[in-house]
């Protein structure tokens, strides 16, 4: 009997498009569907399998699309539903799947559901609570974006909960009708032909209905400050990350699987194991990812996460070093490390997520305060300048106005340093990061071990073996500034898609700074 084929997403490469910053097709300074359609051939040329779109729904843009005002439509800045249908059709014609970023744990305060929760027929669709006797907030829950996670609404003389901005009220997934309304959003868009979803904060659907305080994290156990230092002083065990969240993820997956050949993966921002990030795809979402690699700055942090993943062999991970929320990879690890980080991304086990511009080795852009659009950057500047530095317009043409993004003034300024790294500069350069990305994507598809094989860590700073049947490939990475030696598990035949300087004597590899080596293990 012939074995059933693996689902398309297992080992796939997904290209993340931040729509507002990708390509402006009509000159209004905002990226849009028309602009994206014009660049589909470029995306297909990378050798990826799918496109993950940042949220496309109408939004007042308090948090740039992550505050949805209407799940049924698309943001007018991007186009119409007909324009989206044309995008999906054009992508599918090129063999590219379309994945939507769905934000279902909360909505905008301008959503009709929330209006009906304030003074209509959806009184319990959001998380409401009475104030304490002195009018203060119901408990100690803190917002990720700073301050109490509660805002007072005079119309109800109650507080509503928001894990992020006060304009992002928490949807009450404990309420059956509210939960069904959220799940129906998935049905709607699957019916319109999308191929799957990335679920925003998939750890945050449920909350403790007793509204118990979050416990404090002892000072000695607190990590580096990120965004809101105060919120990182408590473990978020009751405002989100409930163990019951795991069973809910299975409900979501089964809803998606009612449609053939679809994919759903989730973002887990905290309490990864507790909230269900590492479940196997038979009991949770198809895949999950978290911030461990998005915040990593060295080989030790990466190895630590790979060791964690090894504890959950039945879990299928999504792998990302860069996205719209974090400092770009090339800036965290150094611009000279862009190629080796691409090599690492392309050869890890899982479904890989490549953020727009990562294939060009783009660094973070430094913006003035008056140029910022991100509410988090505005709040914490200059200690933390927000997320706009990784969201600036894609550089298409070094010689064109706005680096080819569009004719109108872009919503964020293009990065001056990006001109030298524009697509136009790299397309004809066989030594460019862009050319290397295409080679890596080709190698990932050509070698079953890299595409869907198992991963076994080796002793050393950062080395592992990928194996599938008779094919075993050893992968070694040097993220440092000095050459290293690595003991190999056997004789190897070097493969052509390594980067940097390397040499093998017997079973000892010498690998130069910021380099990657790949070798086919022989006779094993």
Residues known to be catalytic: 200, 267
The DSSP annotation for 441-493 comes to HHHHHH-HHHHH-EEEE-SSSSEEEEEETTEEEEEEEE-SSS-EEEE-SS-EE
Residue 349: closest CA among 307, 407, 295, 404? 307
Q: Within 13 Å and on the Cβ side, how many CA atoms surround 509?
A: 30
Residue 235: closest CA among 249, 250, 218, 248? 218
Spatial separation of the C-alpha atoms in residues 281 and 285, rounded to whole Å: 6
**3-state secondary structure labels for all residues of 178-231:** HHHHHHHHHHHHHHCCCCEEEECCCCCCCCCCCCCCCCECCHHHCCCCCCCCHH
User: Cβ distance 478 to 484 under 8 Å?
Assistant: yes
Q: Write the burial class of residue 314 (CB in 10 Å: 0-12 exposed, 13-18 middle, 19+ buried).
A: exposed
Spatial separation of the C-alpha atoms in residues 516 and 478, rounded to whole Å: 6
Report which DSSP code applies to 101: E
What is the β-pairing status of strands 502-505 and 508-511? antiparallel
Which residues, listed in sequence order, are joined to residue 504 by a DSSP beta bridge?
509
Spatial separation of the C-alpha atoms in residues 358 and 52, rounded to whole Å: 14
- On the question of a cis peptide bond just before residue 212, with omega within 30 degrees of 0, the verdict is no
Which residues, listed in sequence order, are joined to residue 50 by a DSSP beta bridge?
14, 97
Spatial separation of the C-alpha atoms in residues 500 and 200, rounded to whole Å: 37
Which residues, listed in sequence order, are joined to residue 149 by a DSSP beta bridge?
none
Which token pair is 179?
């939960």
Spatial separation of the C-alpha atoms in residues 338 and 359, rounded to whole Å: 9
Residue 71: closest CA among 203, 194, 246, 163? 194
Backbone angles phi, psi at 286, to 5 degrees: -60, -35
Which token pair is 311?
């504890």
Within 10 Å of residue 340's Cβ, how many Cβ atoms? 24
Which token pair is 416?
């001056």
Spatial separation of the C-alpha atoms in residues 517 and 512, rounded to whole Å: 10
Question: Secondary structure of the chain: what % helix, strand, coil (to 5)?
Answer: 30, 20, 50
Spatial separation of the C-alpha atoms in residues 375 and 147, rounded to whole Å: 13
């Amino acid at each position: 009997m012939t074995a059933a084929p693996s689902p398309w997403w297992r080992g796939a490469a997904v290209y993340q498009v931040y729509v507002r910053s990708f390509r402006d097709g009509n000159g209004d300074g905002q990226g849009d569907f028309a602009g994206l359609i014009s660049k589909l051939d470029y995306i297909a040329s990378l050798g990826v399998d799918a496109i993950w779109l940042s949220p496309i729904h109408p939004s007042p843009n308090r948090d740039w699309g992550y505050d949805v005002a209407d799940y049924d439509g698309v943001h007018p800045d991007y186009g119409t539903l007909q324009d989206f249908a044309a995008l999906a059709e054009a992508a599918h014609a090129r063999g590219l799947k379309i994945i939507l970023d769905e934000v279902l744990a909360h909505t905008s305060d301008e959503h009709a559901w929330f209006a009906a929760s304030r003074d209509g027929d959806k009184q319990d669709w959001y998380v409401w609570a009475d104030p304490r006797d002195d009018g203060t907030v119901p408990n100690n829950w803190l917002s990720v974006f700073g301050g109490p996670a509660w805002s007072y609404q005079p119309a109800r003389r109650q507080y509503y909960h928001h894990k992020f901005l006060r304009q992002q009220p928490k949807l009450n997934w404990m309420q059956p009708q509210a939960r069904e309304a959220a799940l129906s959003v998935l049905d709607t868009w699957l019916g319109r032909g999308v191929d799957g979803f990335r679920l925003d904060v998939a750890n945050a659907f449920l909350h403790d209905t007793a509204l118990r305080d979050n416990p404090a994290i002892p000072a000695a156990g607190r990590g580096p400050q990120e965004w809101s230092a105060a919120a990182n002083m408590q473990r978020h065990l009751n405002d989100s990350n409930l163990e019951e969240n795991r069973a809910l993820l299975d409900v979501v997956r089964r809803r998606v699987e009612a449609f053939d050949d679809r994919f759903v993966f989730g973002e887990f921002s905290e309490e990864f194991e507790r909230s269900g990030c590492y479940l196997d795809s038979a009991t949770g979402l198809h895949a999950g990812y978290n911030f461990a690699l998005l915040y990593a700055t060295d080989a030790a942090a990466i190895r630590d996460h790979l060791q964690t993943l090894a504890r959950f062999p039945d879990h299928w991970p999504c792998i990302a070093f860069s996205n719209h929320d974090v400092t770009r990879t090339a800036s965290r690890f150094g611009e000279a490390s862009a190629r080796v980080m691409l090599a690492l991304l392309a050869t890890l086990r899982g479904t890989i997520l490549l953020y727009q511009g990562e294939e060009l080795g783009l660094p973070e852009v430094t913006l003035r305060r008056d140029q910022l659009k991100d509410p988090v950057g505005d709040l914490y500047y200059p200690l933390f300048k927000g997320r706009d530095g990784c969201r600036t317009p894609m550089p298409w043409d070094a010689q064109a106005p706005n680096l080819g993004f569009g004719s109108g003034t872009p919503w964020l300024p293009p990065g001056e340093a990006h001109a030298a790294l524009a697509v136009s500069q790299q397309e004809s350069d066989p030594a460019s990061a862009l050319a290397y990305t295409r080679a890596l994507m080709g190698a990932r598809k050509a070698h079953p071990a890299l595409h869907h094989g198992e991963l076994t860590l080796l002793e050393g700073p950062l080395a592992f073996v990928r194996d599938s049947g008779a094919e075993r490939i050893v992968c070694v990475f040097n993220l440092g500034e000095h050459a290293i030696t690595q003991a190999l598990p056997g004789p190897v035949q070097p493969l052509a898609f390594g980067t940097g300087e390397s040499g093998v004597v017997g079973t000892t590899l010498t690998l130069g700074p910021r380099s990657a080596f790949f070798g086919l293990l022989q006779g094993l």
